[in-house]
Amino acid sequence: MKKKAPVTKNQEFEATVVDLTYDGNGVVKYDDFPIFVTNAVPGEKIIVGVTKVTSNYGFGRVVKRLSESPDRNADIDAKVLQSGVAPLAHLTYPAQLKHKQKQVADVFNKQHVAVDVAPTIGMENPWGYRNKAQIPVREINGELTTGFYRRGSHRLQPMEDFYIQDPKIDEAIVVIRDILRKYHVAAYDEVNHKGVVRTIMVRRGYYSHQMMVVLVTRAKRLPAAEYIVNDIREALPEVVSIIQNVNQEKTNVIMGDQNKVLWGQKAIKDTLLGKTFAIGPNSFYQVNPAMTEVLYQTATEKAELKPTDVVIDAYSGIGTISLTIADHVKSVLGVEVVPEAVDDAKRNADINGTDNVRFELGKAEDKMVQWADEGLKPDVIFLDPPRKGLTQELIDAAVKMAPEKVVYISCNPATLARDVALFEAQGYRVNGDVQPIDQFPQTTHVESVTVLTK
């Protein structure tokens, strides 16, 4: 029998916000029917206006706020909230950190895995932290424009201040936009798959201040490339690398796989915990360098590494974890699926004069099974997978290798809790607290470190 919703669109009623969803919406209930309300904080009394109803839940907006939670960031500029780049910015920073801790605890509860979740480690200044921007370029009113897509929308919102990005990167984006305008370069037209520049990517070294500019183009040819390069170099002296990345596909994937160095180096350098890293345009590199140091330090301390340890670093990227732990252990073996990242990782081992690390190209799922079959017996396995988490095969292979410890660095609590439950089913237990670390202040993303022992 199809349930009938107890509310209708445009209905208004008074309610108290009872919860906050993982994506930062307040929850109110009408009878038992949940309605998700943007910019509503638990404890607040509001008048809700229903904007949409499905058979199991609805959406609403705040028509009037009747009381204000102490967790509300009352100082926040309305522009920040409307921008969509900072979906948790209506909460004070301490409330954001508590929210992230609770979210991790909630997903473990759902999996019936008993753990203690430590308070989230936060940043001193939780703004302007991102070292990388990928900004869509579209035409608005006949002009090449840079901005931001709100979630679920495909209309570009022009924007110059991105709040959570390194302000030097925000400045650079505007400068590059103006240079592209000057030479009448066509912005990408998604509907007709025409135009030239799709995305401007900028990365800036946190310590080195070296800047890389990547112009992602639909067309193979970038008109006026020489002039554009000269103007960028003149206006932005931190730039050491200008790259054209060609992406001819009709796709939401930002980068293509062809890179042309238009000027300068093919990678920038930066440091993390005293090690130097070359970072190419296609390689993953953590976006919040200050907190990445905290993350790696926390993971290293929790792992209680010994000089005799043989370590696997699965999902190794450009080798940042491998190289920061290499001095504390006997050897590290990394695996990573992006060929350019593996090249960067090998180069990074050379740059740092580290000779007890090795990187292999492949899928972690396959390599781990292969290594288990070959009888490899690591003492510690680091796992740092993308949001979708691990596969059963990878977990089986990890268990077969019988490491004393598994250090799981997660950017998605839901898949973390699911995977930890699978490890527990095979005799591993969470050792100590699960430690959330706020890599992404003002946003809904949650990073954490968990150590499992046999």
Segment contacting ligand SAH by CB under 6 A, of 9-17, 147-155, 254-262, 334-342:
334-342
Q: How far is the CB of 253 from ligand SAH (least distance, A)?
A: 13
Q: How far is the CB of 77 from ligand SAH (least distance, A)?
A: 32
Q: How far is the CB of 103 from ligand SAH (least distance, A)?
A: 20
Helix (H) or strand (E) holding 351: helix 339-351
Active-site residue, 411 included: yes
CA distance 113 to 88: 27
Q: Does 321 participate in binding ligand SAH (rule CB under 6 A)?
A: yes
Distance of CA 246 to the CA centre of its chain: 23
**Angle between helix 167-182 and helix 225-235 axes, rounded to 10 deg:** 140
DSSP 8-state assignment for residue 327:
G
Q: Does 25 participate in binding ligand SAH (rule CB under 6 A)?
A: no
Q: Is the dihedral of CA 11, 14, 20, 23 positive or negative?
A: positive
Q: Does 284 participate in binding ligand SAH (rule CB under 6 A)?
A: yes
The burial class, CB within 10 Å (0-12 / 13-18 / 19+), for 168 is middle
Q: Which of 96, 103, 316, 348 binds ligand SAH (CB under 6 A)?
A: 316
Q: Which of 71, 309, 384, 438 binds ligand SAH (CB under 6 A)?
A: 384
Q: Does 317 participate in binding ligand SAH (rule CB under 6 A)?
A: yes
CA angle 93, 121, 314 (to 5 degrees): 125
Q: How far is the CB of 132 from ligand SAH (least distance, A)?
A: 12
Give Cα separations from 80 to 86, 90, 161 (angstroms): 7, 9, 9
CA distance 395 to 431: 17
Q: Does 186 participate in binding ligand SAH (rule CB under 6 A)?
A: no
Q: Give the nearer residue to ligand SAH in terms of CB position, either 186 or 338.
A: 338
Strands 58-65 vs 156-158: parallel, antiparallel or unpaired: unpaired
List 411, 416, 422, 430, catalytic entry: 411
Q: Give the nearer residue to ligand SAH in terms of CB position, either 175 or 406.
A: 406
Q: Does 320 participate in binding ligand SAH (rule CB under 6 A)?
A: yes
Place of tokens 């591993």: 428
Binding site for ligand SAH (CB under 6 A): 284, 286, 315-317, 320-321, 335-338, 341, 363-365, 384, 386
Return the active site residues.
411
